[in-house]
Amino acid sequence: MHDTLISKDIIGTALKKGKVKGITVEVGDLGHLPAEELKETLQRMVPDWKITITRKKAKVRCACGYKGEPKILEHSHGHSVFFCPKCSLVPEVTEGMDIILKEVEVE
């Protein structure tokens, strides 16, 4: 259901631009939904639209001083398990948690 709510929000925002032919959505590695799951839901809800999904790498900052991509063990619907690849603590996420409508192609 979470995927449907997020998809409805994206679709509603896109429709405000006019008659939509396609959209590009940026999905963070630690976003609320895995990219493929979001793409499947959007394609099911608006089968006539061209759906393009781009990836936004996750970036973290750890107490040990590490800055960069986390080690992601699991990422599923509303759940992520990740840690610092340097010290194995759970770092602060600085990028890559969002799902953003980046582009709307209209007729």
DSSP string of 29-72, one letter each residue: TTSSS-HHHHHHHHHHH-TTSEEEEEEE--EEE-TTS-EE--EE
Instruction: Delimit the domains of the chain by residue range.
Output: 2-106
pTM: 0.86
Residue 62: predicted pLDDT: 97
Q: What's the rounded Cα separation, in Å, for the pair 91 and 52?
A: 30
The CATH code belonging to domain 2-106 is: 3.30.2320
Please tell me the distance from the alpha carbon of residue 15 to that of residue 70, in angstroms, as a whole number: 35
Render pLDDT for 27-81 as a digit per residue (tens, 0 to 9).
Answer: 999 988 889 999 999 999 999 999 999 999 999 999 999 999 999 998 877 778 8
